[in-house]
Amino acid sequence: MARRLRPGQLMLNEIHEQPLVLERVWREEGGAVRALARRLRAQRPRAVVLAARGTSDNAALYGRYLIETHLRIPASLAAPSVVTLYGVRVKLRGMVVIGLSQSGRSPDIVRVIESARDAGATTVAITNDPRAPLARAADEVLVLHAGAERSVAATKTYTAQLMLLSLLVAHTAGNSRLIRAHEALPEAVARALQTAPAVADAAALLQRARECLVTSRGYNFATALEAALKLKESSRVVAEALSSADLLHGPIAVVEREFPVIVVAPPGRALGHLWGVLRRLVRRRARTIVLSSAARLLAPATVPVRLPDVAEEALSPHVYIVPLQLLAHHTARLRGLDPDHPQGLRKVTRVL
Protein backbone atom coordinates (compact mmCIF):
# COMPACT_ATOMS: atom_id res chain seq x y z
CA MET A 1 0.00 0.00 0.00
CA ALA A 2 1.35 3.42 -0.94
CA ARG A 3 2.56 5.51 2.00
CA ARG A 4 0.37 8.52 2.72
CA LEU A 5 2.25 11.80 2.31
CA ARG A 6 2.17 14.48 4.97
CA PRO A 7 0.32 17.69 4.02
CA GLY A 8 2.65 19.90 2.01
CA GLN A 9 5.16 17.12 1.34
CA LEU A 10 4.76 17.31 -2.43
CA MET A 11 5.50 21.04 -2.48
CA LEU A 12 8.48 20.61 -0.17
CA ASN A 13 9.90 17.77 -2.26
CA GLU A 14 9.53 19.79 -5.45
CA ILE A 15 11.20 22.84 -3.92
CA HIS A 16 14.17 20.63 -3.06
CA GLU A 17 14.31 19.18 -6.59
CA GLN A 18 15.18 22.57 -8.10
CA PRO A 19 18.99 22.23 -8.21
CA LEU A 20 18.61 19.04 -10.26
CA VAL A 21 15.94 20.61 -12.47
CA LEU A 22 18.20 23.55 -13.34
CA GLU A 23 21.02 21.14 -14.13
CA ARG A 24 18.70 19.24 -16.48
CA VAL A 25 17.62 22.43 -18.25
CA TRP A 26 21.29 23.39 -18.75
CA ARG A 27 22.21 19.90 -19.99
CA GLU A 28 19.14 18.83 -21.98
CA GLU A 29 17.82 22.03 -23.56
CA GLY A 30 21.04 23.89 -24.40
CA GLY A 31 20.99 22.84 -28.06
CA ALA A 32 17.40 23.97 -28.59
CA VAL A 33 18.12 27.29 -26.85
CA ARG A 34 21.17 27.96 -29.02
CA ALA A 35 19.27 27.10 -32.21
CA LEU A 36 16.40 29.42 -31.31
CA ALA A 37 18.85 32.18 -30.37
CA ARG A 38 20.46 31.90 -33.82
CA ARG A 39 17.03 32.22 -35.44
CA LEU A 40 16.19 35.30 -33.36
CA ARG A 41 19.52 36.97 -34.13
CA ALA A 42 18.92 36.45 -37.83
CA GLN A 43 15.33 37.65 -37.62
CA ARG A 44 16.09 40.75 -35.51
CA PRO A 45 12.53 41.12 -34.17
CA ARG A 46 11.26 44.61 -33.50
CA ALA A 47 9.57 43.58 -30.23
CA VAL A 48 8.76 40.60 -28.01
CA VAL A 49 5.40 39.83 -26.40
CA LEU A 50 5.10 37.31 -23.56
CA ALA A 51 1.77 35.59 -22.82
CA ALA A 52 1.10 33.77 -19.54
CA ARG A 53 -1.11 33.51 -16.49
CA GLY A 54 -0.43 33.03 -12.77
CA THR A 55 3.07 31.93 -11.81
CA SER A 56 4.09 31.84 -15.48
CA ASP A 57 3.06 35.49 -15.79
CA ASN A 58 5.59 36.36 -13.09
CA ALA A 59 8.27 34.51 -15.06
CA ALA A 60 7.15 36.47 -18.12
CA LEU A 61 7.67 39.77 -16.28
CA TYR A 62 11.21 38.67 -15.47
CA GLY A 63 11.64 37.90 -19.16
CA ARG A 64 10.52 41.42 -20.04
CA TYR A 65 13.22 42.96 -17.85
CA LEU A 66 15.84 40.63 -19.34
CA ILE A 67 14.87 41.30 -22.94
CA GLU A 68 14.81 45.06 -22.59
CA THR A 69 18.06 45.30 -20.60
CA HIS A 70 20.10 42.81 -22.66
CA LEU A 71 18.55 42.91 -26.15
CA ARG A 72 17.39 46.55 -26.00
CA ILE A 73 14.15 45.88 -27.81
CA PRO A 74 10.67 46.53 -26.39
CA ALA A 75 9.00 43.69 -24.53
CA SER A 76 5.49 43.56 -23.13
CA LEU A 77 3.07 41.21 -21.41
CA ALA A 78 0.08 40.16 -23.48
CA ALA A 79 -3.49 40.68 -22.30
CA PRO A 80 -5.00 37.33 -23.37
CA SER A 81 -8.55 38.71 -23.03
CA VAL A 82 -7.91 40.93 -26.06
CA VAL A 83 -7.90 37.72 -28.10
CA THR A 84 -10.25 35.47 -26.13
CA LEU A 85 -12.96 37.95 -25.09
CA TYR A 86 -12.78 40.61 -27.79
CA GLY A 87 -11.67 38.49 -30.74
CA VAL A 88 -8.98 40.94 -31.86
CA ARG A 89 -6.05 39.81 -33.97
CA VAL A 90 -3.24 42.13 -32.88
CA LYS A 91 -0.75 43.29 -35.54
CA LEU A 92 2.31 41.24 -34.57
CA ARG A 93 4.17 40.71 -37.84
CA GLY A 94 7.91 41.00 -37.31
CA MET A 95 7.61 40.28 -33.60
CA VAL A 96 8.26 37.26 -31.39
CA VAL A 97 5.46 36.01 -29.14
CA ILE A 98 6.43 33.66 -26.29
CA GLY A 99 3.75 31.63 -24.51
CA LEU A 100 4.59 30.28 -21.06
CA SER A 101 2.52 27.57 -19.38
CA GLN A 102 3.86 24.74 -17.22
CA SER A 103 1.09 22.41 -18.38
CA GLY A 104 0.81 23.79 -21.90
CA ARG A 105 -2.95 23.41 -21.53
CA SER A 106 -4.13 26.90 -20.61
CA PRO A 107 -6.70 27.55 -23.36
CA ASP A 108 -6.30 31.33 -23.37
CA ILE A 109 -2.52 31.16 -23.79
CA VAL A 110 -2.90 28.58 -26.58
CA ARG A 111 -5.36 30.92 -28.32
CA VAL A 112 -2.94 33.86 -28.02
CA ILE A 113 -0.17 31.82 -29.64
CA GLU A 114 -2.48 30.60 -32.43
CA SER A 115 -3.64 34.16 -33.10
CA ALA A 116 -0.07 35.49 -33.08
CA ARG A 117 1.09 32.82 -35.50
CA ASP A 118 -1.81 33.62 -37.85
CA ALA A 119 -0.81 37.30 -37.61
CA GLY A 120 2.72 36.56 -38.84
CA ALA A 121 4.65 36.51 -35.56
CA THR A 122 7.33 33.98 -34.71
CA THR A 123 5.85 31.97 -31.85
CA VAL A 124 7.64 30.14 -29.03
CA ALA A 125 6.19 27.82 -26.38
CA ILE A 126 7.90 27.30 -23.03
CA THR A 127 6.23 24.35 -21.33
CA ASN A 128 6.85 21.19 -19.33
CA ASP A 129 5.00 19.01 -21.86
CA PRO A 130 6.30 18.97 -25.45
CA ARG A 131 3.08 17.23 -26.59
CA ALA A 132 0.71 19.78 -25.07
CA PRO A 133 -1.59 22.01 -27.17
CA LEU A 134 0.65 25.04 -26.57
CA ALA A 135 3.66 23.21 -27.99
CA ARG A 136 1.66 22.09 -31.04
CA ALA A 137 0.49 25.66 -31.68
CA ALA A 138 3.96 27.26 -31.64
CA ASP A 139 6.74 27.45 -34.22
CA GLU A 140 9.41 26.65 -31.63
CA VAL A 141 9.30 24.80 -28.30
CA LEU A 142 11.55 24.95 -25.24
CA VAL A 143 10.94 22.22 -22.66
CA LEU A 144 11.26 22.73 -18.90
CA HIS A 145 12.49 19.20 -18.05
CA ALA A 146 11.04 19.64 -14.55
CA GLY A 147 9.37 16.24 -14.29
CA ALA A 148 5.81 15.87 -13.07
CA GLU A 149 4.80 18.70 -10.74
CA ARG A 150 2.10 17.25 -8.47
CA SER A 151 1.65 20.04 -5.96
CA VAL A 152 -0.86 22.68 -7.04
CA ALA A 153 1.67 25.36 -6.07
CA ALA A 154 4.16 25.71 -8.93
CA THR A 155 7.77 25.85 -7.74
CA LYS A 156 10.26 23.91 -9.85
CA THR A 157 8.52 24.78 -13.12
CA TYR A 158 8.86 28.48 -12.22
CA THR A 159 12.63 28.36 -11.76
CA ALA A 160 12.93 26.23 -14.91
CA GLN A 161 11.06 28.95 -16.82
CA LEU A 162 13.45 31.57 -15.43
CA MET A 163 16.40 29.42 -16.49
CA LEU A 164 15.16 29.01 -20.06
CA LEU A 165 14.36 32.71 -20.42
CA SER A 166 17.75 33.81 -19.13
CA LEU A 167 19.63 31.27 -21.26
CA LEU A 168 17.69 32.31 -24.35
CA VAL A 169 18.37 36.01 -23.79
CA ALA A 170 22.04 35.41 -22.93
CA HIS A 171 22.61 33.37 -26.12
CA THR A 172 20.64 35.80 -28.29
CA ALA A 173 22.68 38.69 -26.90
CA GLY A 174 25.93 36.74 -27.33
CA ASN A 175 26.78 37.49 -23.68
CA SER A 176 29.33 34.79 -22.86
CA ARG A 177 29.78 35.93 -19.26
CA LEU A 178 26.05 35.65 -18.58
CA ILE A 179 25.93 32.26 -20.30
CA ARG A 180 28.78 30.91 -18.14
CA ALA A 181 27.19 32.26 -14.96
CA HIS A 182 24.29 29.81 -15.41
CA GLU A 183 26.60 26.91 -14.53
CA ALA A 184 26.77 28.10 -10.91
CA LEU A 185 23.01 28.36 -10.44
CA PRO A 186 22.26 24.77 -9.32
CA GLU A 187 24.80 25.07 -6.51
CA ALA A 188 23.53 28.54 -5.55
CA VAL A 189 19.97 27.20 -5.35
CA ALA A 190 21.18 24.26 -3.24
CA ARG A 191 22.77 26.75 -0.85
CA ALA A 192 19.58 28.82 -0.79
CA LEU A 193 17.76 25.72 0.46
CA GLN A 194 20.03 25.82 3.52
CA THR A 195 18.29 29.01 4.70
CA ALA A 196 15.55 26.82 6.21
CA PRO A 197 16.28 27.81 9.87
CA ALA A 198 15.92 31.54 9.08
CA VAL A 199 12.85 30.79 6.96
CA ALA A 200 11.30 29.01 9.95
CA ASP A 201 11.73 32.22 11.97
CA ALA A 202 10.12 34.20 9.15
CA ALA A 203 7.20 31.76 9.02
CA ALA A 204 6.66 32.19 12.75
CA LEU A 205 6.49 35.96 12.17
CA LEU A 206 3.78 35.45 9.52
CA GLN A 207 1.87 32.68 11.30
CA ARG A 208 -0.84 34.99 12.63
CA ALA A 209 -0.51 37.74 10.03
CA ARG A 210 -3.59 38.56 8.02
CA GLU A 211 -1.64 40.58 5.44
CA CYS A 212 1.86 41.58 4.43
CA LEU A 213 3.78 43.45 1.75
CA VAL A 214 6.53 42.05 -0.47
CA THR A 215 8.81 44.53 -2.20
CA SER A 216 11.79 44.63 -4.52
CA ARG A 217 12.80 46.36 -7.72
CA GLY A 218 14.16 45.53 -11.17
CA TYR A 219 14.65 41.86 -12.00
CA ASN A 220 13.35 40.81 -8.59
CA PHE A 221 10.03 42.62 -8.84
CA ALA A 222 8.97 39.33 -10.44
CA THR A 223 10.30 37.54 -7.34
CA ALA A 224 8.17 39.76 -5.12
CA LEU A 225 5.08 39.04 -7.22
CA GLU A 226 5.70 35.30 -7.18
CA ALA A 227 6.33 35.29 -3.42
CA ALA A 228 3.07 37.16 -2.83
CA LEU A 229 1.18 34.69 -5.03
CA LYS A 230 2.65 31.71 -3.17
CA LEU A 231 1.74 33.21 0.21
CA LYS A 232 -1.83 33.90 -0.94
CA GLU A 233 -2.52 30.53 -2.50
CA SER A 234 -0.62 28.34 -0.01
CA SER A 235 -1.00 30.05 3.37
CA ARG A 236 -3.92 32.46 2.79
CA VAL A 237 -1.88 35.50 3.80
CA VAL A 238 -3.17 38.53 1.90
CA ALA A 239 0.23 39.40 0.46
CA GLU A 240 0.62 42.34 -1.90
CA ALA A 241 3.71 42.77 -4.06
CA LEU A 242 4.86 46.27 -4.92
CA SER A 243 7.85 47.68 -6.70
CA SER A 244 9.84 49.47 -4.02
CA ALA A 245 9.63 52.58 -6.19
CA ASP A 246 5.83 52.37 -6.19
CA LEU A 247 5.78 51.61 -2.47
CA LEU A 248 7.09 55.12 -1.81
CA HIS A 249 4.33 56.68 -3.95
CA GLY A 250 1.69 56.26 -1.27
CA PRO A 251 1.25 52.58 -0.25
CA ILE A 252 3.92 52.87 2.47
CA ALA A 253 1.20 54.69 4.44
CA VAL A 254 -0.35 51.31 5.35
CA VAL A 255 2.86 50.23 7.10
CA GLU A 256 2.34 50.71 10.82
CA ARG A 257 4.07 49.27 13.86
CA GLU A 258 4.49 45.48 13.58
CA PHE A 259 3.22 45.37 9.97
CA PRO A 260 5.12 42.56 8.18
CA VAL A 261 7.14 43.50 5.09
CA ILE A 262 9.36 41.18 3.03
CA VAL A 263 12.26 42.95 1.27
CA VAL A 264 14.05 41.13 -1.58
CA ALA A 265 17.41 42.89 -1.85
CA PRO A 266 20.20 41.19 -3.80
CA PRO A 267 23.34 43.20 -4.60
CA GLY A 268 22.96 45.11 -7.85
CA ARG A 269 21.63 48.33 -9.32
CA ALA A 270 18.63 48.47 -6.96
CA LEU A 271 20.50 47.82 -3.71
CA GLY A 272 21.06 51.45 -2.73
CA HIS A 273 17.41 52.27 -3.32
CA LEU A 274 16.26 49.23 -1.33
CA TRP A 275 18.54 50.25 1.55
CA GLY A 276 16.76 53.59 1.68
CA VAL A 277 13.35 51.89 1.61
CA LEU A 278 14.37 49.50 4.39
CA ARG A 279 15.49 52.39 6.58
CA ARG A 280 12.08 54.01 6.18
CA LEU A 281 10.35 50.73 7.05
CA VAL A 282 12.48 50.36 10.17
CA ARG A 283 11.62 53.92 11.23
CA ARG A 284 7.94 52.97 10.89
CA ARG A 285 8.59 49.98 13.20
CA ALA A 286 7.67 47.42 10.55
CA ARG A 287 8.56 43.78 11.13
CA THR A 288 10.94 43.12 8.26
CA ILE A 289 12.04 39.89 6.62
CA VAL A 290 15.06 40.77 4.49
CA LEU A 291 16.61 38.49 1.86
CA SER A 292 20.10 39.59 0.84
CA SER A 293 23.77 38.71 0.80
CA ALA A 294 24.68 42.28 1.83
CA ALA A 295 25.42 42.63 5.55
CA ARG A 296 24.24 46.25 5.57
CA LEU A 297 20.72 45.18 4.51
CA LEU A 298 20.57 42.22 6.87
CA ALA A 299 21.67 44.06 10.02
CA PRO A 300 18.43 45.99 10.78
CA ALA A 301 16.06 43.17 9.75
CA THR A 302 13.65 41.57 12.20
CA VAL A 303 14.42 38.28 10.43
CA PRO A 304 17.53 38.31 8.20
CA VAL A 305 17.75 35.60 5.53
CA ARG A 306 21.31 35.46 4.20
CA LEU A 307 21.55 34.28 0.59
CA PRO A 308 24.66 33.20 -1.33
CA ASP A 309 26.34 35.65 -3.66
CA VAL A 310 25.11 35.43 -7.26
CA ALA A 311 27.66 36.49 -9.88
CA GLU A 312 25.12 38.23 -12.14
CA GLU A 313 22.28 40.36 -10.78
CA ALA A 314 20.14 39.23 -13.74
CA LEU A 315 20.26 35.65 -12.42
CA SER A 316 19.47 36.42 -8.78
CA PRO A 317 15.70 35.71 -9.17
CA HIS A 318 16.49 32.02 -9.73
CA VAL A 319 18.02 31.90 -6.24
CA TYR A 320 16.02 34.45 -4.25
CA ILE A 321 12.63 32.85 -4.92
CA VAL A 322 13.66 29.60 -3.22
CA PRO A 323 13.51 30.74 0.45
CA LEU A 324 10.22 32.47 -0.35
CA GLN A 325 8.77 29.21 -1.66
CA LEU A 326 9.89 27.59 1.60
CA LEU A 327 8.33 30.48 3.51
CA ALA A 328 4.95 29.94 1.85
CA HIS A 329 5.14 26.22 2.64
CA HIS A 330 6.22 26.65 6.26
CA THR A 331 3.67 29.39 6.95
CA ALA A 332 0.90 27.21 5.55
CA ARG A 333 1.87 24.30 7.77
CA LEU A 334 2.06 26.52 10.87
CA ARG A 335 -1.48 27.66 10.06
CA GLY A 336 -2.71 24.08 9.72
CA LEU A 337 -3.11 24.25 5.93
CA ASP A 338 -2.09 21.84 3.16
CA PRO A 339 -0.17 23.82 0.51
CA ASP A 340 -0.29 20.85 -1.87
CA HIS A 341 -4.05 21.24 -2.22
CA PRO A 342 -5.09 24.86 -1.59
CA GLN A 343 -8.81 25.35 -1.17
CA GLY A 344 -10.60 26.10 -4.44
CA LEU A 345 -7.55 25.67 -6.70
CA ARG A 346 -6.64 23.18 -9.42
CA LYS A 347 -3.29 22.49 -11.07
CA VAL A 348 -4.50 23.54 -14.53
CA THR A 349 -6.76 26.58 -14.74
CA ARG A 350 -8.92 26.56 -17.86
CA VAL A 351 -10.00 30.11 -18.66
CA LEU A 352 -10.93 31.65 -22.00
Phi/psi-derived region of residue 147, left when phi > 0, alpha when psi is between -120 and 50, beta in every other case: left
Report CA dihedral (34, 65, 25, 192) to the nearest 10 degrees: 150
Q: Is pLDDT at 350 greater than 90 in this prediction?
A: no
Report CA dihedral (232, 235, 236, 241) to the nearest 10 degrees: -30
Q: Is pLDDT at 346 greater than 60 in this prediction?
A: no
Give the model's confidence band at 1: pLDDT under 50 very low, under 70 low, under 90 confident, else very high. very low
Give backbone dihedrals phi and psi of 210, rounded to 5 degrees, phi first. Answer: -85, -30
Q: Is pLDDT at 347 greater than 60 in this prediction?
A: no
List domains and CATH numbers for the chain.
Answer: 9-174 (3.40.50.10490), 187-334 (3.40.50.10490)
Q: What pLDDT shows up at residue 264? A: 99
Residues 99 and 57: beta-carbon distance below 8 Å: no
Q: Is pLDDT at 304 greater than 50 in this prediction?
A: yes
